[in-house]
Amino acid sequence: MMNNSEIQSVKNKFGIVGADSALNRAIDVAVQVASTDLSVLVTGESGVGKERFPQIIHQYSARKHNKYIAVNCGAIPEGTIDSELFGHVKGSFTGATSDRKGYFEEANGGTIFLDEVGELPLSTQVRLLRVLEAGEYMKVGSSEVYKTNVRVVAATNLDMSRAISEGRFREDLYYRLNTVPISVPPLRQRGDDIYLLFRKFATDFAEKYKMPAVSLSAEARMLLLHYPWPGNVRQLKNVTEQISVLETDREISKETLLSYLPAQAVGSNLPMVTPASGDKSFNSEREILYQVLFDMKKDMNDLKKLVNDIMRGAGMHVEDMQMAQPEMHGYRDIRHSIDDVQGLETSFQPEQGVQTTPVSSPSVTQIKAHRDIQDMEEYVEENFSLEDAEKDMIKKALEKHNNKRKYAAQDLKISERTLYRKIKQYGLE
């Protein structure tokens, strides 16, 4: 496993910016697998920078002095992609006026990068599978078998499991390509890397266009870090270039930055308004829900205690209850509301055969013996702590994922940085 200085050396060489642990892990795997001839599948959302990893693999392999060819499979028409990859012979189709070498012949001894490999037609997938299994292929229009010694690195932003289940991608080819998987994290999960990339791009464009570099106000920086960046690094770079060229004020406000972001992506992921002093802030919708439930439970307990105190009133007889019939109906309405919230199936109604006509001064205890209101005989103060619940959820998430904070944070729907702060806060290190 590479140390931090070795990983940083790779980043400097290939222009990779960031300190995210998942990004470092992807680089480490790429360098380790480079010395082998194993096939590699790089996965990640569009715009995360998947194209850097085949370059790393090629440059750190024994093939680095031979050809490296990158092919965008999604940009080649279906009717010509077999010819592009494997070549063709003269007369094999209209317009084939001479023999042509394909990419696998050109890259013999080197590395070929198949970007957007999930877009390959099924017929081409069969040809590619043969190359991976036997190192053999046939040109279009020829029956002659050719040999090739090519290292294949593929990349896709598709959900391959779904593509396989829908019959759009061969399962056997997937497992051949996915001998060594490398997952590149999306920008929204990389924390402070977002701001580091912005500064890098701002400096680059300042040099390119001969103007001062743009900077962000405190609010704009918070927006930058909390925006979901559906286009990932590519989108961040484009936005930074637009701002660098179009804005005359070199300090960018939150409102200015918002004008460059697609409205449909601006929503719940943005930072909440900072509350006034003494107000409670929340780090996720989960915490807000807990607080709402806690407040509701507290209100119900207060209401139950109030009604219980009334029922325990000294000297309260059946005659008093009959005279206060409207009030008792009001109590029944309250009781039904509580039952609806708590999901109880009981209702506060007299059981069949209960005496409601005046009798000789019955006690409150005698009245209770004919009614199913045992839950109101004693008020129990429940201690429902939001902090304890949150701490317990974090512990369970960490145990579930063997203390891997990245996956625990994804399970809890919070950022890895927020999880780290909570771990320190509750002493769970």
Digits of tens for pLDDT over the chain (429 positions)? 788 899 999 999 999 999 999 999 999 999 999 999 999 999 999 999 999 999 999 999 999 999 999 999 999 998 899 999 999 998 888 888 888 999 999 999 999 999 999 999 999 999 999 999 999 999 999 889 999 999 999 999 999 999 999 999 999 999 999 999 999 999 999 999 999 999 999 999 999 999 999 999 999 999 999 999 999 999 999 999 999 999 999 999 999 999 999 875 555 455 444 444 444 444 455 556 666 666 776 777 777 777 666 766 645 544 444 444 444 444 454 455 445 444 444 444 444 444 444 444 444 444 444 444 444 444 444 444 567 778 888 888 888 888 888 888 888 878 887 888 888 888 887
How would you class 379 by CB atoms within 10 Å of its CB: exposed for 0-12, middle for 13-18, buried for 19 or more?
middle
Residues 176 and 194 in one domain: no
Residues 302 and 242 in one domain: no
Residues 175 and 204 in one domain: no
296 assigned to some structural domain: yes
Domain end point (choices 185, 205, 237): 185
Residues 291 and 231 in one domain: no
Radius of gyration, CA atoms only, the chain: 34
Residues 96 and 174 in one domain: yes
| Calpha distance 29→7 (Å, rounded) | 11
Domain end point (choices 265, 299, 333): 265
Assess contact for 386 and 337: CB atoms under 8 A: no
Residue with tokens 């990640």: 44
CATH number at 79 reads 3.40.50.300
- What does pTM read for this prediction? 0.61
Residues 75 and 198 in one domain: no
Residues 95 and 126 in one domain: yes
274 assigned to some structural domain: no
Assess contact for 153 and 111: CB atoms under 8 A: yes
230 assigned to some structural domain: yes
140 assigned to some structural domain: yes
- Tokens standing for residue 99: 């023999």
CA nearest to 177, candidates 218, 241, 117: 117
Residues 18 and 148 in one domain: yes
Parallel, antiparallel or unpaired: strands 145-147 and 136-138: antiparallel
CA nearest to 150, candidates 85, 219, 222: 85
| Calpha distance 85→128 (Å, rounded) | 9
- Tokens standing for residue 281: 């802030």
272 assigned to some structural domain: no
| Calpha distance 235→57 (Å, rounded) | 25
CATH number at 395 reads 1.10.10
Outline where 250-363 has alpha helix (H): 254-258, 285-311, 318-323, 325-342
CA nearest to 140, candidates 95, 102, 107, 169: 102
| Calpha distance 21→7 (Å, rounded) | 11
User: φ and ψ at 94, to 5 degrees?
Assistant: -60, 125
Helix (H, G, I), strand (E, B) or coil at 168: coil
159 assigned to some structural domain: yes
Domain end point (choices 150, 185, 220): 185
Give the structural domain span for 20.
4-185
Residues 94 and 30 in one domain: yes
| Calpha distance 119→106 (Å, rounded) | 22
Assess contact for 15 and 114: CB atoms under 8 A: no
Residues 45 and 118 in one domain: yes
| Calpha distance 382→385 (Å, rounded) | 9
CATH number at 202 reads 1.10.8.60
278 assigned to some structural domain: no
202 assigned to some structural domain: yes
Residues 112 and 193 in one domain: no
Residues 358 and 231 in one domain: no
| Calpha distance 226→188 (Å, rounded) | 8
Into how many domains does the chain fold? Answer: 4
